Amino acid sequence: MPKYRVNREALEQAHRMIDAGEHDDSTSWSDAAPSTSEGNEVRDEDGWDAYASWHLAEDPDASERTKKRYHFPYGDFTKVNRSAVVHAEQRASQNDHPEIEKAADELLQHLDRVRS
């Protein structure tokens, strides 16, 4: 199993977006998850850095500038989706990625503090 590392830039972007009110607390991730073509559009129009910034984890063993490198999306390329963060936390826990689980939990706590 690959050893992922936390994508710090993505985590910081997610915090800024939550602070700015750019989050969705009500749409399920199955409804909000972007399609492959939407991901390709972001990558093609805004570049790999923009695409990467929407994923909480990187696989350092995967080639840069490939989709195999980026994992655990936290939003739909427009806003943070609470269900996506919950999903990321659960998947990280189930697949023994404690650093990613901790990063997702940190985001959830931040989101809950901002919402209350």
Beta strand 55-58 with 5-6 is: antiparallel
pLDDT tens profile 96-115 = 999 999 999 999 999 999 98
Structure tokens at 25: 């607390």
* Mean pLDDT for the stretch of residues 85-96: 97
Query: For residue 91, how many other CB atoms are within 10 A of its CB?
Result: 16
Query: Any bridge partners for residue 73, and if so which?
Result: 55
Please name the amino acid found at residue 95: N
Instruction: Tell me which residue range forms the domain holding 35.
Output: 5-115
* Mean pLDDT for the stretch of residues 85-101: 97
Task: State the total domains in the chain.
Answer: 1
